[in-house]
Structure 1
Amino acid sequence: MPDLHWTIPVARWSSWPAAASAAPDIGFIEPIVRRRLSTLSRIALKVAHDCVAQDDVRVVFASRHGELRRTTDILRSISAGEPVSPTAFSLSVLNAMTGVFGIARGDRSAASAISAGAETLGYALLEAYAQYATQPASPVLLVYADEPADPRYGTIEDEVQGGAIAILLNQETAAGQLVCTLSGAGAAAASVSVSASSQANPAEAGADADAEARFATQSQALQHCLDTRRSAAWQGTGVTWHWSWHDGAA
């Protein structure tokens, strides 16, 4: 397949690690709503709030599994003949976070939700870019949040790491450019594999400054690129996703 390139103007970005011991601060959400939210929605709302001010913003939310754990609990209740909470049901849909976020901000801007298996984050970046390109005067907020599926679903190929990342697309206040590339098989021959333990240390990701670190999940690769400003890649089935950073606005 031919390479596909697009460049995202990054005004702000935020992340929340899956291994964080502290709970995310989402004090901007009313307590009556806040206590009903899942961990997934909480971390998504946290990073989203970090990236936006008071201006209206379109939202693209992405998650491979979404509120699967809440849905699983609902199915358990149904199986046991127990009543299902209407609130739990309404918060079990993939786009639950976007609704809560829009209501809390009083923002009626468009919002969409994407799930595309192991490539969810990559295609969400493409969707966010496409929406921004059609209307550059209106910022777009990309929010990705995920968590591993319930063990009862068995082994899942290319399972997610968990955690959340948000990126605000806005050329007027861009601090840098995130270059995204989707290429065919074999295009990442110059990549160098790194373990999860070495990704925290850029020096261990590869001695060659031009080498491209390769990661087990898309979120790990993107996080590495944003944190270190060094290229990163993720190998899928027949395709490779690449990310690189360029300082300053285009």
Structure 2
Amino acid sequence: MRCWSFDGWSYFTWRYCKVMKFEILDLNFCDFKSGFNLNGLNPLQKRRLSIPSKCIYTLIKNSVKFNMPCVFASNYGEFHRCLNLLSGLSLTNSVSPTSFSLSVLNSALATFFIKHEIHSPLFAISSENLVEDAVICAYSKLLEFNEICVICYEEVPFSDEFYSSSFIIKSGNSISLEISQEKIISNLVNLENFRENFGKDFSWSGREIGYRWKFL
């Protein structure tokens, strides 16, 4: 569809936009400040878990209805692991098979699915606008599934900061997300922006696309 947009100079122009409406349930967050809840795991199991795996376990381990399709979205996956793999490959021309397999974008969630014998579809995307693009992916599948779990994991390069979130999307009208070519300025990390503003109208922009959240 096309929407009217005021350009700030006394006249209006057309801009193309898409508006989606849905509901979000069971919203959870985990980041470098809050830490993890790994109750039920022994010390060896805890040591073997990567940071994304610890986030996933913390976010959804208590969800009794988690056996559903899932969209996993991340900006870089495990940035430091991938960087170490590239460094090792350039210096020694070899990489650790275990570390290489764990560097796959959706390895943390896929491992969780296997461990808990979850046979639902799993979709994975890589995007700098991970929340919005994950929502778009999930929304596009609501004709096929009643509910879809979205899990987002974001690392800040060259730091120890990470953010993660999980929520369930279903059909509804309580939330709308507008996607357009309008540029919107925001200095926050994508997931931090989502956490700080969820529940109130806010905007976020990628390099080429603008997103407007509205809570109806």
Name the TM tier (shorter chain).
0.7 to 0.9
1:15-56 deviations in Å (ceiling 9; x for gaps): 113333xx3023456765542222233223322335x31452
The aligned residue for residue 132 of structure 1 is 142
User: Secondary structure of 2:129's partner?
Assistant: helix
Distance 1:80 1:13, change over 3 A: same
Residue type of the alignment partner of 1:221: N
CA distance in structure 2 between the aligned counterparts of 1:25 and 1:100, rounded to whole angstroms:
18
TM-score, with length taken from structure 1: 0.69
The aligned residue for residue 44 of structure 1 is 56
TM-superposed deviation, 1:215: 5.3
Residue type of the alignment partner of 1:43: C
Indicate whether 1:143 and 2:115 are aligned. no
Distance 1:132 1:28, change over 3 A: farther
CA distance in structure 1 between the aligned counterparts of 2:208 and 2:56, rounded to whole angstroms:
30
TM-score, with length taken from structure 2: 0.79
TM-superposed deviation, 1:95: 0.6
Indicate whether 1:218 and 2:190 are aligned. yes
Residue type of the alignment partner of 1:219: L
TM-superposed deviation, 1:80: 3.9
The aligned residue for residue 203 of structure 1 is none
The aligned residue for residue 129 of structure 2 is 119
The aligned residue for residue 200 of structure 2 is 230
TM-superposed deviation, 1:82: 8.1
Q: How many residues align?
A: 201
1:99-120 deviations in Å (ceiling 9; x for gaps): 122023210111011112x222
Contact persistence 1:232–1:242 (CA under 8 A):
yes
TM-superposed deviation, 1:122: 1.1
TM-superposed deviation, 1:89: 1.6
The aligned residue for residue 109 of structure 1 is 120
Q: Which has the higher strand share?
A: 2
Contact persistence 1:143–1:167 (CA under 8 A):
yes
The aligned residue for residue 13 of structure 1 is 27
Contact persistence 1:59–1:142 (CA under 8 A):
yes
Contact persistence 2:74–2:153 (CA under 8 A):
yes
Contact persistence 1:225–1:243 (CA under 8 A):
no
TM-superposed deviation, 1:6: 1.0
The 10-residue stretch of structure 1 (23-32 or 6-15) with the greater mean CA deviation from structure 2: 23-32
Indicate whether 1:181 and 2:143 are aligned. no
Contact persistence 2:50–2:108 (CA under 8 A):
no
Structure 2 residue ranges without an equivalent (≥5):
1-14
Distance 1:55 1:240, change over 3 A: closer
User: Secondary structure of 1:244's partner?
Assistant: strand
- Of 22, 38, 43, 1:26 maps to 38
Alpha-carbon RMSD: 2.8
Indicate whether 1:81 and 2:51 are aligned. no
Distance 1:54 1:124, change over 3 A: closer
The aligned residue for residue 164 of structure 1 is 164
Residue type of the alignment partner of 2:67: D
User: Secondary structure of 2:52's partner?
Assistant: helix
CA distance in structure 1 between the aligned counterparts of 2:45 and 2:114, rounded to whole angstroms:
11
The aligned residue for residue 245 of structure 1 is 215
Residue type of the alignment partner of 2:32: A
Contact persistence 1:119–1:218 (CA under 8 A):
yes
Distance 1:60 1:28, change over 3 A: farther
Distance 1:55 1:95, change over 3 A: closer
Structure 1 residue ranges without an equivalent (≥5):
152-160, 194-213
TM-superposed deviation, 1:169: 2.1
